[in-house]
Structures are given as structure tokens and as C-alpha cells.
Amino acid sequence: MLDYHLHLWPHSQREAPLVLDQVAAYCERAQAAGVVEIALTEHLFRFVQADRVLGGFWDGDDVPERLRRSMSEYWKFHVHADLDDYVTTVLEAKSHGLPVVLGLEVDYYAGRMEEVAGLLEGYPFDVLLGSVHWVRGWRFDDVDDDESMSEWSTRDVDDCWDAYTGALEELAATRTCDVLAHPDLVKVAGHRPRHPSEWWDRIALAAARSGMATEVSSAGWRKPAGEQYPAEGLLVRLAARGVPFTTASDAHHLEEVADRVGDLQALLHSVGIDRLTAYRRRQAHTIPLAAPAGPAADPQFAHAGRARRGMRP
């Protein structure tokens, strides 16, 4: 197994110390859970280099003032680390033989992804995760922010899913990144359309066309969504289109590293997946996905496998 989505700092932490011992502790906990390799993937927006290029991206005429103000405060709180120091720390961990690769989580900035690519050019990244955490300045996934969550009561859920999916399609089409992170993150606060198939189909098609892998993440189990990313219906569609997969915890604390890795393993096997995709210098290679311990698949995931077998590619 892999844990290809790990953060060094929780969102509540303003300052961002870089400590090699923390990376070693992550690796030790991951290996104890059967994970063979981790990727450190800190958010791009936490680095001062990103602020110089992308700061103020939310200042558009179609973004309400309250959301512009909220995003500005959020951005200023987080943007304190130095990207060069981060890269040096991870490379040092690799030089010590720790099973870690250098990654980054890259948000979608509409119309600005060429600038993002230029900013990252020349760094020795192994893997870049592409994600959508906001739509036109609205942090729809910030479940700890009352301003952001209040928006859900004023918006149509289908419209929110449509806007999110459109942003993810645009992100995938740029091919700036290697892996689509938590591909149905828009459900994080528990708001789902009655009939999500339209958006699942679009997300799966966008992933397949881009050539990117998609992560299967346990983080949704720790959120109001109450299930993994992606939902089983979307996972079935991604598998049917031959999209490759990574696995992830999206940990922001040591105790979350490799969270529910066995459940992810069973879920993937239930839809016929027997290999994962890993990366070196942004080049993909596959590793075998070991069979889960005990029964071939957890009973709670058995219907996903049956659905896949009856689904047309």
C-alpha cells in the first residue's frame, strides 16, 4: 500500500517548522500499517513563493465581498513556509533512506495554471496532486469555518456539484499534476445531489482523458461526508475506464497517517484493482496491491464489485 497524501502541518497551525524527525515518525507509523512508501504533499498555498505569484487570485467581480475577505484572511494565515526549505527537508529524508517521495498538493487556480507550472518548474518533485478546494473564492470544504459553511444554505446543491465538477474538469485538462486528489471532495460537508451519476460520469471521463491517476482516500471517513473519496459509484466508473489509482490518508497529524489502510485495500480489491501507481520524478510506475488479510473483501464493499461487473465501460 501507499500513503500518497500527507501534510506536515494542520490547518490550525500558523507557523510551519520543518523537522526531519517528524518525517521519520510518519514513515515509521506508515510502515507499521503495511505502507511501503509515503508522499509528503504539503499545500502549495502555504509557501511564500506561491503568494508572490497567486496571492489575491480571489479578487474577482463575481466573488462576494464576505468571501473575498474570508479567503484573504485564510491565505494570510497559512502562507509562511519556504518552498526551498521544504524541498531540502524532504530530499534530506530521502538521502537517509526513508521511504518518502517529494510531492505537493496543488489547488486549481482558474486561468493561472501555466503560472503554477512555471513556479514549480525546476524543482525535483516526484508527484503533484491536483485538487479543487474552492470555487470562485468559496472554500466549500472548510467545515470549521462558519462563513464558508453558511453558503451551503443559500446555494442549490446540484449547482455546487456542477461548479465543482467543472473546475475539476478544467484542472484535469491542464495536465499540470499527476494525481487527482479526493475527486468528489464537494461532498465533504455532507451535501449530495439525489442523483449524482451525471457528475460521477463527468469526473471519471475527465480523469481518463487526462491520463492522471486518482487517489482513493480514507479522509472522507473523518469528515461529515462519512465515506471514502471517491464514493463507490464513482470508484466503479473510474475503474471501468482504466484510471490508475494511488491510496492516501490526507493526514495532517501523525495519528492519521495510514488511516484505515486495510479498508482502502479491501475496497480496491472489491472492484478488481490489483495494482497501485507510484511516482519518481513525475514518472509513473506500478506496484502490486497485496490481497487484504482475511476474507477476499470486506462485506460492506462487496456490492461495489458486483456493480462493476455489471457496468459497461
Show the cell assigned to 233: 459509484
In the chain, the percentage of residues whose pLDDT exceeds 70 is 94
> 48-62, 69-83, 297-311: which range is least confident on average?
297-311
Reported as a single tens digit per residue, the pLDDT across 124-141 is 999 999 999 999 899 999
**pLDDT one-digit tens code per residue, 106-121:** 999 999 999 999 999 9
Model pLDDT for residues 2-44, shown as the tens digit of each residue: 999 999 999 999 988 899 999 999 999 999 999 999 999 999 9
User: Predicted confidence band at 295 (pLDDT cuts at 50, 70, 90)?
Assistant: very low
pLDDT at 231: 98
Predicted confidence at residue 294, as pLDDT, reads 54
Query: How confident is the model at residue 311, as a pLDDT?
Result: 37
Q: What is the pLDDT of residue 1?
A: 96
Average pLDDT over the chain, rounded to an integer? 93
pLDDT tens-digit readout, 225-269: 999 999 999 999 999 999 999 999 999 999 999 999 999 999 999
**Which residue ranges form the domains of the chain, and what is each CATH number?**
2-309 (3.20.20.140)
pLDDT of residue 298: 43
Whether residue 46 has pLDDT greater than 70: yes
pLDDT bucket at 291, cuts 50 / 70 / 90 = confident
pLDDT at 105: 98
DSSP calls for the chain:
-EEEEE-SS-TT--S----HHHHHHHHHHHHHTT--EEEEEEEGGGBHHHHHHHTTTT--TTS-HHHHHHHHHHHHHH--B-HHHHHHHHHHHHHTT-SEEEEEEEE--TT-HHHHHHHHTTS--SEEEEE---BTTB-TT-TT-HHHHHGGGTS-HHHHHHHHHHHHHHHHHHT--SEE-STTGGGTTS---S-THHHHHHHHHHHHHHT-EEEEESGGGGSTT-SPBSPHHHHHHHHHTT--EEEE--BSSGGGTTTTHHHHHHHHHHTT--EEEEEETTEEEEEE-PPPSSSSS-GGGHHHHHHHHTS--
166 has a pLDDT exceeding 80? yes
Q: Is pLDDT larger for residue 138 or for residue 308? A: 138
pLDDT at 304 over 80: no
pLDDT at 293: 72
Looking at residue 15, what is its pLDDT?
87
